[in-house]
Structure 1
Amino acid sequence: MSIKFKAQAKRNPQDITLPEKYYAAAIADGEVDLDILAEQIAYECTVTESDCHAVLLSLERNIIHSLKQGRIVKLGRLGNFQVGLSSSGVDTIEAVNASLITKARILFRPGKRLRQLLTGLTYKKAS
Structure 2
Amino acid sequence: MIAIKAMSRLNPQDVTAENKFYAKAISQGVIDFERLAYLVSNQCTVRESDCYAVLRALEHNIMDELKQGKVVQLGGLGNFQVGVSSNGEVLAESVSGNSVKKAHLNFRPGAKLRDMLEIVKFKIIAG
Relative to structure 1, the CA distance from residue 8 to residue 94 in structure 2 (aligned partners, 3 Å threshold; closer, same or farther) is farther
Residue 39 of structure 1: aligned partner:
38
Residues 8, 25 of structure 1: 8 Å contact kept: no
Residue 56 of structure 1: aligned partner:
55
What residue ranges of structure 2 are gaps of 5+ in the alignment?
A: none
Residue 9 of structure 2: aligned partner:
9
TM superposition outliers: structure 1 runs of 4+ over 6 Å:
none
Residues 8, 24 of structure 1: 8 Å contact kept: no
Relative to structure 1, the CA distance from residue 24 to residue 102 in structure 2 (aligned partners, 3 Å threshold; closer, same or farther) is farther
What residue ranges of structure 1 are gaps of 5+ in the alignment?
A: none
Question: Which residue identity does 1:25 align to in structure 2?
Answer: K
Bigger mean CA offset, 43-52 vs 108-117: 108-117
CA distance in 2, matches of 1:10, 1:83: 33
Is 1:65–2:64 an aligned residue pair? yes
- Could you report, residue by residue, the CA deviation over 1:13-42 in whole angstroms, capped at 9, with x for unpaired residues? xx6x73565543211111111111111111
Q: How does 1:104-123 map to 2 (within 5 A)?
A: 104-123=103-122
CA RMSD between the two structures: 2.1
Residue 18 of structure 1: aligned partner:
15
Q: Alignment length, in residue pairs?
A: 123
Give the TM-score, by structure 2 length: 0.82
Q: 1:8 offset after TM fit, Å?
A: 4.9
Percent of counterpart pairs with the same letter? 45
Residues 86, 103 of structure 1: 8 Å contact kept: yes
Residues 10, 23 of structure 1: 8 Å contact kept: no
